[in-house]
Structure 1
Amino acid sequence: MQCRRHIPGFTFSLVFVLSYFTNKFVLSVLKFTYPTLFQGWQTFIGAVLLLLSGKLGWVEMSFISRSAALSWLPASLLFVGNIYAGSRALSHLDIPFFFTLQNSSYVVTYIISTALHREKQKMHQLKSISMGLMLLAAVNLPLCDPQVDNTAYLWAVCHLLCAGAYKAFQVHKSNNLSDFEQHCINCLFSVLLLALAAHPTGDLTGALEFPSLHSGVFHCGCSASALLGFLLLLVTVKLKRGLSSEHLGIWIFISKVTAMSLSPFLFSVNINTPSLVCVLISLVGEALLVFSNRDSQAG
């Protein structure tokens, strides 16, 4: 009985790890570094599956009004920046480094949320320590990385800024859109914007010369990435509805630790002692953040 309670959490963790590993495989191992096409494909399949699931009644989706969709467009723009920059960064960064930098998005979310409140909020001491640790780890990681790629780190900064701003917008935007409806708008907007950007960025012509374009492994990887992205949405929403934000944070933390721990067995990871320390400091910071959220809710 106790194990059955954790099935949604274990399912989320499994899909989370598989999703990131599949994306990393296509981006780094197969070297399909054309994010307008890769992310456009993922969001196109995500939109199709989501609309089909809504039509069949598998997920709860109501008619999205034009005003609601337009009011959500700033978040959709941040979503596109998030997935595009994240794809660029993940293609060149090891998974432990990617998550270490990504954790700084919590700091961005807090700063924006505080500014939106227009009130001076008293930060919990544990939360301030956790924010400081995650920011410290992210700032020092490029200095410790044995094979630092400045372009990859620049894209990672863009990714964490967009991810942090998106989470802040999602929390504080007052609307009646469900998680599925928000994601549907995000996907449709992403498909349109990324399709328009495919030729100007050179991704379209570059992809036509991609060596593994007709490879079965490449086709399977792209198909799996799109399907796993949709499944990750489903299990995330299920987990959010069934658990408190504290427990959701715990499962996200567990999933990241699992992905970081397993990634050296599947991908080439170049890590030294100083960069490993940065990764561990960031994980400690995220763990403290989860505990601080629990304490603030209890209070």
Structure 2
Amino acid sequence: MCVRRSLVGLTFCTCYLASYLTNKYVLSVLKFTYPTLFQGWQTLIGGLLLHVSWKLGWVEINSSSRSHVLVWLPASVLFVGIIYAGSRALSRLAIPVFLTLHNVAEVIICGYQKCFQKEKTSPAKICSALFLLAAAGCLPFNDSQFNPDGYFWAIIHLLCVGDLFSVLDFPFLYFYRFHGSCCASGFLGFFLMFSTVKLKNLLAPGQCAAWIFFAKIITAGLSILLFDAILTSATTGCLLLGALGEALLVFSERKSS
């Protein structure tokens, strides 16, 4: 079982890394920035692969009534916002910057759980939220490659992600796929979603959070070597502060699980 969990975790990290690097390459280097086409292509590929997986018995899809589908409509709208805004932001921002801003969605989720679900929040989780907010808030003032459009779309993206996780129950767990681009991106997006579901089913929340954190670290680090990213000492400090905040989040999840 331990070996199986490790294999699932490594598969998730590989899909996470490949998906982000492929999308960044197509969006930034090839300049293919058409979010509507991204969304349509990724949904088409994902839908076909999901149907094939269901036919092969790899996944289980429960049939739902029309009333249940209507409940999913608000989540579908937010999903469109995630795809569109995420692709716009990633085409203009370095991957480490994008991931640091994306982590603010965790603060939205934490705030919703604290204020509306009255969940008890550990000191480590509160410190994590403060660090994540501070890191994201300082980035625009210290980013030598500051792009106002990129930051604007990143804010829209993280708001959609935070609202989707906090309020709504969306059936197919497409949250981790922000955009599609080429055929490879469509397939990688699906396998990233598939490996994420397997990760969440096999591992405890704290272990799952640790694998996600590890995937983000290796993706951000490798992207600096592959793409044009100028990191000043101030920008690096913001990124490290964000990493510290997420590390505290992982610690709090492992402690509570």
TM (norm. structure 1) is 0.80
Distance 1:102 1:183, change over 3 A: closer
Higher mean displacement: 135-144 or 38-47: 38-47
SS in 2 for 1:148: coil
Distance 1:3 1:235, change over 3 A: same
SS in 2 for 1:91: helix
| 1:257 aligned onto 2:222 | no
Q: What letter corresponds to residue 6 of structure 1 in structure 2?
A: S
Q: What residue in structure 1 maps to residue 88 of structure 2?
A: 88
Q: What residue in structure 1 maps to residue 149 of structure 2?
A: 151
Q: What residue in structure 2 maps to residue 212 of structure 1?
A: none
Structure 2: segments with no counterpart, 5+ residues: none
Q: What residue in structure 2 maps to residue 137 of structure 1?
A: 135
| Percent identical | 48
Distance 1:94 1:13 in 2: 19
- Within 5 Å, give how 1:25-104 maps onto structure 2: 25-104=25-104
The match for 1:283 among 234, 239, 243 is 243
Distance 1:54 1:183, change over 3 A: farther
Distance 2:200 2:2 in 1: 19
Distance 2:11 2:120 in 1: 36
Distance 2:21 2:174 in 1: 22
Query: Conserved in 1, the CA contact under 8 Å of 2:5 and 2:203?
Result: no
Count of residues in Structure 1 that have an aligned counterpart in Structure 2: 255
Structure 1: segments with no counterpart, 5+ residues: 195-220
Q: What letter corresponds to residue 61 of structure 1 in structure 2?
A: I
Q: What residue in structure 2 maps to residue 248 of structure 1?
A: 208
Distance 1:107 1:23, change over 3 A: same
Distance 1:155 1:268, change over 3 A: same
SS in 1 for 2:32: coil
Q: RMSD in angstroms over aligned alpha carbons?
A: 2.2
- CA positional deviation for 1:264: 1.7
SS in 1 for 2:145: coil
- CA positional deviation for 1:2: 5.5
Distance 2:215 2:126 in 1: 23
Distance 1:136 1:183 in 2: 28
- Within 5 Å, give how 1:187-198 maps onto structure 2: none
Distance 1:241 1:256 in 2: 20
- CA positional deviation for 1:56: 3.3
Distance 1:27 1:233 in 2: 20
| 1:236 aligned onto 2:234 | no
TM (norm. structure 2) is 0.93
SS in 1 for 2:188: helix
SS in 1 for 2:62: coil
Distance 1:41 1:116 in 2: 36
Q: Deviations over 1:65-123 (max 9, x none)?
A: 21111111111211111121111000010001001101111011122233432x4x442
Structure number with bigger Rg: 1
- CA positional deviation for 1:296: 2.3
| 1:162 aligned onto 2:160 | yes
- CA positional deviation for 1:253: 0.1
Distance 1:283 1:183 in 2: 24
